[in-house]
Each structure stands twice: as C-alpha cells, then as structure tokens.
Structure 1
Amino acid sequence: MFTLTAAKPALDRVHHTACRTAVEVGWRLAEGAASANDVAVTLEGLRAAWEEGLESAIHYYEAPPELWALPRLVNVLTLLFNEPAEAARQLLVPLSIVHPGQPVPLLTPEETRNCCWLVRELFNRGGVGPLLPWENAWQTETAVALAAQIYASGEFSAMPILADALQDVGCDNVDALIHCRGPGPHVRGCWVVDLVLGKGMNRPPNPV
C-alpha cells in the first residue's frame, strides 16, 4: 500500500491508462480481490506501455527526464506485483533507464520527504516505543462499521468518532487514540483502521 499511495503524484503527471489500471489492480491485490488473470493482463498492459515510453524517448540523444518518466513508472508498477519492496525503493531512488544517462526521479524532493509521514500512517503501530497491546474486544460492531465506512469512502473526518467508539469500550492504546484524533493526513491503509477491520492482525506490514 505504501508504493500505491506514494506513487500518486507520479501517476498524476504521467497520465497513462496502463499505469492507472495497474494501480487499481494493485489495490485489489492488496485486498486479496485480484485474480491471477487480472495480474497477467495488467502486466501485459505495462509491457506495452514500457515499449511505448521507450520508443518515445530513444529517438533523443539526451531525452528530457519527462520522457523517461513513463518507462520508469512502468518499472515500479511491474515490480509491485512480484517484488514490492524493490518497487518502493525504485520509486524513491532516482535511476537511469539507459546507460549512460541521467538518473530520472519519479518524485520531487518534497514528495519524497512526505513519504516519512506516510510510513508512520501505514506502519506506525506503537509509535517510537514498544508496541502497545491491541484487544479484539475493542472491535465492536460500532467500531468496525465506522472503520469500514472510512475505508470504503476514503473520507477520514470520522476518525475522532472512531477514537471515541474505541475508548467507550475500554481501549487504552494511547497510540491508536492519538492517531485517530490527530490532524492527519490519513490515507487508505491507515494502521488504526486496518487493525479495527482485522487487516493488520498477525502479519507484517504489506509494502505494496
């Protein structure tokens, strides 16, 4: 989910159907809702987009960075389906497509710095100290309904209400309560929402 969210600025700049489709299928894959055929079709579309982007840039002796953005982004999205950790690395680290060639950044320096809060938003279960306990009893019908609505709509204004619902049933996980009541921003994959929905239980964070 990290790469899918962090890549949004690059996706907005590139404007390519195959890349947008890959992100949609990537989200479904992260949720266990994408089939092997969905992934295969997506990878084929990315392969065609790679060839298209390479063909556009290769005619220049020194192609401007914006012409290399499409094949660079295609590389990242292709890796997303089999090497998600490497996909995240290639998104953040400027790389060149051909040698010799100038490294092509996909994100601006500010967008790269913003990935720090994104990591905390997605993976910061417990802040800087030891992990605080999470009780299944806090996942009441009300809390789960609120979290499901937040997750489905992508509208996070109800996060403080979720904190109230958790606290009403005895939740004393300070990190979770502070996170819900904090200023955000929040994104899909928020660690508290995922815990309430059972998405973050007993498994390491998914770097997709």
Structure 2
Amino acid sequence: MTEEKFWRTENDPHALLSALFPTRSEGSVVLQTRKCRHYLLACARRQWNRLPGVCREIVALAEVFAEYPRSEARLRALVAPIAEQLVHSAGDPGDLEEAARALRSAGEEDTPGGVRSRLAPEDQFDVPVVPEPFSETEWRGLASLVYLPFVLNTPPFKWVPRELHATDLLREIYYNPYVFIPFDSDWRTSDTLELARAAYNSRNFGGMPFLADALQEAGCTNSAILDHCRDTNARHVRGCWVVDRILNHG
C-alpha cells in the first residue's frame, strides 16, 4: 500500500498520527506546530458538550496561544500548569473547583500578558461542574485534549484514546501529507481572503461553497481544493487546509 493510500484509507487515528509525527532518535525533540494544536483543539471542541466549564475556558485560552505562541508565552505560563494538573486529577468536583479558582486567580493578573483580558464572560462557560460521569480513561483523555495544546514539543497523542481522536479532522487539517497540492498566489483575491478570514474568525464555515466560487473566479481549477470547499458532509474547523492555504498560515 502506498503512503498516499494509507493516509486516505486508514481508520486508526493513532496510526495516522504516528505516520505524521514519526519517532525520531532518542533525545531529539520537535516543536509542536500550529496545525497540531488546532487538531487537538478541534477534537476538544467536538467534545464541547461533555467538557466542564473550566475546561471549556482553558480550551478558549489555548486557542489564543495556538495563534500566537511567541507573544502569548505568559498566557501559557499561567494556564498550562492548571491544565496539566487536571490531567493528573480524578476530575471530581473538588478538582474542577480548584482549577476554576486557579484560573480566576490567573485572570486577576494585571501584568502584561496576563489572562484577564482573554477570559470570556463566565456565563459563556456556565455548565454543570461535571456534565456527566467519566471513566478514568475518558477523563484523562478529555483533560489531555485540554492540556496538550500548551505543550511546547510534539505531544504524546496516545494520552488521548482513539475514540476522542478523529481521522476526519486529521484529513480536514492536513489533507493528505503525501499529496502535493499547488496553490497560486493569484487565488488570494480580496474576495477569497475576506471569505476565508470570516470563516476562520467566526468558526462559521457555512460559506465554504461561496469560497469555492470565489476561488474559481480567481482562476483555481484544482478539484481537491474546490471539492473540499463544496463537500456538504465536511465538518470544517480552524486549521482547515484550504482556508489555511488562502490565509497563508503555517
């Protein structure tokens, strides 16, 4: 089986991630990428209705860090330890209340780079302390999705069980790393940029078919790009490989 077909047909997300991030020599490290962070955050967003309020809030802050990892180093310094502690907790109400208090305390930081200005109003995260009971494996997986975007190097994906990963999200963000898709800079017109930015910033990808039309008007004839935008079954997320190519995101 070719690598291209493997990526297109494999149903085990751990296997796809192992291919995407192969084990290197002992002691070597590879910095976590923006796309990797957005993949983990998309998986976390997919579990949104199951996440306690404090976890939702940390995910929202992780999304800020994913976009600006250099300038938001202090945000990471304040929030990552709180998220990491959740991974090592049992996820019971006391653990969640402790994390919420720590996050509120971090939100009171008045120093440059503090998290106060990034914390959304509490009512946006007002959900039961524990929406539903979790098994130990489920909780560790969910908490890992919340924490791992803050990790500086390529994270241990197997902390998250297969059922909380998603092969469709891997293909949504990475397309097929074994297939080269050319992208002409002439396709970055005012219309395509406006539509791509609107989708990215709002997380509302309902206008993707219009983006396909705009790309076509700009001269794009690539079927992979146009079909991805027009796929009515696709569940687009931040990190979508087509939107990223238009916005020239790394």
Aligned to 1:21: 57
Q: Retained in 1: the 8 A contact 2:141–2:161?
A: no
Aligned to 1:78: 147
Q: Quote the offset at 1:67 in angstroms.
A: 5.3
- CA distance in 1 between partners of 2:89 and 2:151 (Å): 22
Q: Quote the offset at 1:89 in angstroms.
A: 2.8
- CA distance in 1 between partners of 2:48 and 2:194 (Å): 31
Q: Quote the offset at 1:137 in angstroms.
A: 1.0
Say which of 130, 134, 138 aligns to 1:66: 134
Q: 1:170 to 1:56 in 2, by over 3 A?
A: closer
- CA distance in 1 between partners of 2:141 and 2:235 (Å): 27
Cα shift readout 1:54-92 (whole Å, capped 9, x = no counterpart): 6779xxxxxxx8253445433443333225643433213
What residue identity is the alignment partner of 2:210? I
Q: Retained in 2: the 8 A contact 1:4–1:23?
A: yes
Cα shift readout 1:103-134 (whole Å, capped 9, x = no counterpart): xxxx4xxx55xx111111111057xx731211
- CA distance in 2 between partners of 1:48 and 1:187 (Å): 27
Is 1:117–2:168 an aligned residue pair? yes
- CA distance in 1 between partners of 2:42 and 2:179 (Å): 26
Q: Give the TM-score normalised by structure 1.
A: 0.69
Say which of 176, 179, 186 aligns to 2:228: 179
Q: Retained in 1: the 8 A contact 2:44–2:146?
A: no
Q: Retained in 2: the 8 A contact 1:46–1:74?
A: yes
What residue identity is the alignment partner of 1:117? D
Alignment of structure 1 residues 130-149 onto 2, 5 Å? 130-149=179-198
Aligned to 1:100: none
How many residue pairs match? The answer is 172
Q: Retained in 2: the 8 A contact 1:3–1:87?
A: no
Q: Give the structure, 1 or 2, with the largest relative contact order (CA under 8 Å, sep 6 or more).
A: 2
Backbone CA RMSD of aligned residues:
2.9
Q: 1:122 to 1:81 in 2, by over 3 A?
A: same
Q: Give the TM-score normalised by structure 2.
A: 0.59
Q: Quote the offset at 1:45 in angstroms.
A: 2.2
Q: 1:164 to 1:45 in 2, by over 3 A?
A: same
Q: Mind listing any 5+ residue stretches in structure 2 that lack a counterpart? A: 1-37, 95-132
Q: Retained in 2: the 8 A contact 1:138–1:169?
A: yes
Q: Quote the offset at 1:22 in angstroms.
A: 2.4
Aligned to 1:162: 211
Q: Percent identity?
A: 30
Aligned to 2:67: 31
Q: 1:153 to 1:55 in 2, by over 3 A?
A: closer
Q: 1:10 to 1:161 in 2, by over 3 A?
A: closer
Q: Retained in 2: the 8 A contact 1:125–1:191?
A: no
Say which of 36, 39, 63 aligns to 1:2: 39
Q: Quote the offset at 1:152 in angstroms.
A: 1.4
Q: Mind listing any 5+ residue stretches in structure 1 that lack a counterpart? A: 58-64, 94-106, 201-208
- CA distance in 2 between partners of 1:90 and 1:133 (Å): 35
